[in-house]
Amino acid sequence: MSTSTIGQTWNTTAYAAHGRFVANMAGGVFELLAPQPREHILDLGCGDGALTERLAATGAIVTGVDASPTMVAAARARGLNVDHQSATALPYEAEFDAVFSNAALHWITDATAVLDGVHRALRPGGRFVAEMGGQGNIAAIRTALQAVLEPFGIDAETAAASFFPSPAHYRHLLEQAGFTVQSLELIPRPTPLAGGADGMAIWLNTFRNGILDLLPAADRALAVERTVALLRPILADLHDEWTADYVRLRFHATR
């Protein structure tokens, strides 16, 4: 099943098969949140609910929110309480002790609208703990896609509509929205990809599906092949095992 949100097309089946590592690598930001039993937590951009479920297992009272109807359905199928809302129009008023987000904020270019909504959603003193792609995230992959898609008339960066801010930029946005920044750091996270020699092609077809979908099927296959060839010397090892050049921005801010 697939659905489009702002600039992306999510295929929940592909995501479940190939995107699980995103939730599995969230240990650091989960620890930074330190969820407590009975506190009210909003999981912003909860996706298919894999981490929301882990949050709920700590005894916290968790609400998930996501803009993708198929992701909302997948998360609700786990028995979670999930709202279907855009992150730029959060309807909550001083309801949560914490807002948590993993690997979602970089999909939304209107960061100010998100941060205003998160600030409103928190009780005074509440915390916003999150991790997202930061400056330099998947830089080699983005550069290769930009080069490969240009002859097809596609500006990959514009089509991706991603937001990978620097620490200084995001600190400024948080402070403008009224938060006090407790910690904020950029963390390089080279991430091994599953799938052996097909690892990068699988990643592109899962996480750049929305952009590749702009092409007819034959061109799409060619674009993937060319992107993989450009990236092989940079991101594959001698055994054709792939590593994606992720960079995370992790922060803890309080209202």
Residues engaged in binding ligand BEZ (CB under 6 A): 103, 106, 133, 137-138, 162, 207, 246
The distance of closest approach from Cβ of residue 203 to ligand BEZ in the complex, given in angstroms and rounded to an integer, is 8
The distance of closest approach from Cβ of residue 253 to ligand BEZ in the complex, given in angstroms and rounded to an integer, is 20
List the structure tokens of 75: 């998360």
Q: Closer to ligand BEZ at the Cβ: 4 or 254?
A: 4
Q: Closer to ligand BEZ at the Cβ: 63 or 137?
A: 137
Q: Closer to ligand BEZ at the Cβ: 33 or 156?
A: 156
The distance of closest approach from Cβ of residue 217 to ligand BEZ in the complex, given in angstroms and rounded to an integer, is 22
The distance of closest approach from Cβ of residue 41 to ligand BEZ in the complex, given in angstroms and rounded to an integer, is 21
Nearest to 177 by CA among 245, 116, 92: 116
Q: Closer to ligand BEZ at the Cβ: 29 or 122?
A: 29
Q: Closer to ligand BEZ at the Cβ: 74 or 193?
A: 193
The distance of closest approach from Cβ of residue 72 to ligand BEZ in the complex, given in angstroms and rounded to an integer, is 19
Q: Closer to ligand BEZ at the Cβ: 63 or 209?
A: 209
The distance of closest approach from Cβ of residue 74 to ligand BEZ in the complex, given in angstroms and rounded to an integer, is 17
- Please give the full DSSP string across the chain, using - where no structure is assigned: -EEEETTEEEEHHHHHHH-HHHHHT-HHHHHHH---TT-EEEEET-TTSHHHHHHHTTT-EEEEEES-HHHHHHHHTTT--EEE--GGG----S-EEEEEEES-GGG-S-HHHHHHHHHHHEEEEEEEEEEEE-TTTTHHHHHHHHHHHGGGT--HHHHHT-----HHHHHHHHHHTTPEEEEEEEEEEEEEPSSGGGHHHHHHHHHSHHHHTTS-HHHHHHHHHHHHHHHHHHHB-TT--BEEEEEEEEEEEE-
Q: Closer to ligand BEZ at the Cβ: 127 or 248?
A: 248
Name the residue whose CB lies closest to ligand BEZ. 133
Let me know if 152 is exposed, middle or buried by CB neighbors in 10 A (0-12, 13-18, 19+). middle
The distance of closest approach from Cβ of residue 211 to ligand BEZ in the complex, given in angstroms and rounded to an integer, is 10
